[in-house]
Amino acid sequence: MSEENVNGAVAPAEANGPAFTVEKIYVKDVSFEVPGAPAVFAETQQPQLQLNLSQNVQRVGDNAFEVVLGVTLTCTAGDKPMYLAEVKQAGVFGLIGFDGQTLDAMLGTHCPNVLYPYARQLISDLIQAGGFPPFFLQPINFDALYAEGLRQRSQGDSLADAETAGNA
């Protein structure tokens, strides 16, 4: 039998190869601050934006992983903070039949690609609800970020190996 009934739904068996599913997408945490309101709305200096991304992965079952994409956007004018928007967009993903390297790549690239549009829209809504003009974050290439992280990890391993060899 190539299919099995899981909770009333028909799911492909592992024999058909790797499978990726989106089980749940949700907002895990959200914060928006305008510390200098209402004076900040009269600010005439050009605002500066700083974007920080983070990601946390946690196994929540045999083949289920929670991926949390953190997006923090800080807007300042001169040395004055205008607003701070923080979103932790999360999802539970089913990943079955992937080898370790492919699983790591799926969690590091594909899952954040699924979550980012939700975080992007929520940040835009928060900024506009906070009294500021509409703002849309630009698309992010998570494949390139993942590749850079791998490169940095391999350099770190090479440095650690060289230091260990030097201390031997």
- Write out the residue range of the structural domain in which residue 45 sits: 16-150
140 backbone dihedrals φ, ψ, rounded to 5°: -120, 135
Low-confidence winner among 35-39, 110-114, 121-125, 162-166 (lowest mean pLDDT): 162-166
Confirm whether 91 is domain-assigned: yes
Confirm whether 65 is domain-assigned: yes
Number of domains into which the chain is organized: 1
Segment 26-51 shows an average pLDDT of 94
**Residues 72-108: pLDDT tens digits?**
999 999 889 999 999 999 999 999 999 999 999 999 9
Write out the two tokens for 103: 């699983």
Confirm whether 118 is domain-assigned: yes
Q: CATH number of the domain at 54, please.
A: 3.10.420.10
Confirm whether 135 is domain-assigned: yes
The rounded distance, in Å, linking the Cα atoms of 90 and 56 is 9
Confirm whether 3 is domain-assigned: no
